[in-house]
């Protein structure tokens, strides 16, 4: 999916032209992967547009930076306001929002502490992330997720996504649209950029964060909606073979939203169609973000964009 440029990018408190958002080749992040980032969506609604769970995403950015001793010179409120500012300045909704903080041009060497912290926020149109209108055909990857106490899985760090790239490239090379990683003990973890859910006998299961899964905000939203609908939710370690015999399985994530899995390792999940649990949660999620159902959880931050541009 090629990037569609917009007019402005937010950089350290100012709006700059898209083409001016550049860094030096000797910036620390290029050599050592010293970045943290977020992915957020803004949805078009009948009365305007809304950013989905903006404070939670920006708090996770702050937390990721804190784990990596990367102090951000902005408060949560300032970062939230910056996201609204850039969306309204570019006038593009629905859109994907990419805040990123990284160590810039300072010193060479592994120690990042004397390299300055740069913060950028971009937004642009972006559609469906996981291909497959009839469900995703995925595989179990030969690449495991990170082991505990090696790199922090709770930080959404750029360096972690080198592991994700290996998972996604392997899947693509072998004819799948996505790969699912196991943790170091062989239990289900997550996709290259998505959390994972299984439905068995009307109960929803998902790997716990201890299985090297990211603390997904869409993941949390689905768990909240499921419990509201009376669907039991269980977080526990899951063996890979449950994916072959479960009734339903789906991904969640800002980019993936709610995407059902048709097959895993060319074994059909259920009958291959979106099952009743996934269908109910899919509908509940999209009804809220698209403004077709009340936002009882205050998950949407309103933005004022006069001309909404579809993707």
Which residues are the active-site residues? 156
Q: Write the CA distances from 111 to 28, 103, 107, 274, integer angstroms.
A: 9, 10, 8, 48
Q: Residue 7 is encoded by which pair of tokens?
A: 């007019």
Residues 289 and 43 sit within 8 Å (Cβ to Cβ): yes
Count of Cβ atoms closer than 10 Å to residue 280 Cβ? 15
Question: What string of DSSP letters covers 185-247?
Answer: TSBEEEESS-EEEEEETTEEEE--GGGT----HHHHHHHHHHHHTT--EEE---BTTHHHH-S
Per DSSP (E only), the strands in 77-128 are 95-103, 117-124
Q: Write the CA distances from 17 to 89, 90, 139, integer angstroms.
A: 11, 10, 41
Residues 38 and 157 sit within 8 Å (Cβ to Cβ): no
Residues 118 and 12 sit within 8 Å (Cβ to Cβ): yes
Q: Residue 220 is encoded by which pair of tokens?
A: 């949390």
Query: Pick from 43, 84, 2: which is nearest to 308 by CA?
Result: 43
Contacts with 178 (C-beta within 8 Å, 6 or more apart), sequence order = 130, 136, 138, 139, 168, 171, 191, 192, 194, 251
Cross-strand bridge partners of residue 284: none
């Amino acid at each position: 999916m090629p990037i569609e440029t917009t007019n402005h990018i937010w950089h350290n408190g100012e709006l700059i032209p898209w083409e001016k958002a550049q860094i030096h080749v000797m910036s620390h992040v290029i050599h050592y992967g010293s970045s943290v980032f977020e992915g957020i969506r803004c949805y078009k609604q009948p009365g305007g547009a809304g950013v989905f769970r903006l404070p939670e995403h920006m708090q996770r950015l702050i937390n990721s930076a804190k784990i990596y001793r990367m102090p951000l010179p902005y408060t949560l409120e300032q970062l939230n306001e910056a996201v609204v500012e850039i969306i309204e300045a570019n006038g593009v909704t629905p859109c994907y929002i990419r805040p990123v903080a990284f160590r810039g041009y300072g010193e060479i060497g592994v120690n990042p502490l004397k390299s300055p912290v740069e913060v950028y926020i971009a937004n642009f149109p972006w559609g469906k992330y996981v291909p497959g209108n009839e469900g995703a055909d995925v595989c179990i990857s030969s690449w495991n997720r990170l082991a505990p106490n090696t790199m922090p899985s709770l930080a959404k760090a750029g360096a972690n996504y080198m592991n994700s790239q290996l998972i996604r490239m392997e899947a693509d090379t072998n004819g799948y649209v996505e790969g699912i990683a196991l943790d170091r003990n062989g239990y289900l973890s997550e996709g290259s950029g998505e959390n994972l859910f299984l439905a068995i006998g009307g109960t929803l299961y998902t790997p716990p964060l201890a299985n090297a899964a990211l603390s997904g905000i869409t993941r949390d939203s689905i768990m909240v909606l499921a419990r509201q609908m009376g669907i039991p939710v269980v977080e526990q370690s899951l063996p890979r073979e449950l994916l072959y015999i479960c009734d339903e399985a789906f991904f969640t994530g800002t980019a993936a939203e709610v995407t059902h899995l048709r097959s895993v390792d060319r074994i059909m999940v259920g009958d291959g169609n979106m099952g009743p649990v996934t269908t109910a949660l899919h509908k509940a999620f999209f009804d809220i973000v698209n403004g077709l159902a009340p936002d009882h959880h205050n998950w949407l931050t309103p933005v004022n964009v006069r001309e909404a541009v579809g993707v």
